[in-house]
Amino acid sequence: MARKGDLQRKLRLGYVVFGVLMVIEIVEYVVGTGLRSGNWPYLGILAIVGAWPILRYFMHIQQLRKPKE
């Protein structure tokens, strides 16, 4: 069984990722409501940028290549 300290570190990482997601979401909202037309390219980029941390840090997509992480 791994050490307790690791667990605390990983739990903190969760907060950081969530914070980043929150920021992206708010920016998205501001762009979406502020920019009345032609906002879709920015929203598209923001959505992709927002999906990445979830895939990487919450779903651990990198484990497909490096199983141990």
Partner 1 sequence: MAIPQDRHVEDRPAINRLGLWLFILSDGFLFVVLLTTRFYMQGVQRPAEVNQPLGLAISIVLLLSSLFAYRGETAAAYGDVKRFRRNILVTIGLGALFLAGVVIEWAEGFHFFPPQSTAYGTVFFTLTGFHAFHVVTGLLALVIILLPGQQKRLQSGNHWGVEAMVKYWHFVDVAWVFIFPTLYLVS
13-42 footprint of partner 1 as x/- string (CB under 8 A): -xx-xx--xx--x--xx-xxx--xx-xx--
Q: Which whole-number Å values give the CA distances from 58 to 24, 42, 51, in the listed order?
A: 16, 24, 10
How far is Cα 15 from Cα 34, in angstroms, rounded to an integer?
28
Cα–Cα nearest to 57, from 27, 28, 1, 15: 15
Examine residue 50 and tell whether it contacts partner 1 (CB under 8 A). yes
Examine residue 10 and tell whether it contacts partner 1 (CB under 8 A). yes
- CB of 27 closer than 8 Å to CB of 46: yes
| Residues at the interface with partner 1 (CB under 8 A) | 1-2, 4, 6-7, 10-11, 14-15, 17-18, 21-22, 25, 28-29, 31-33, 36-37, 39-40, 43-44, 46-47, 50-51, 54-55, 57-59, 61, 63-64, 67
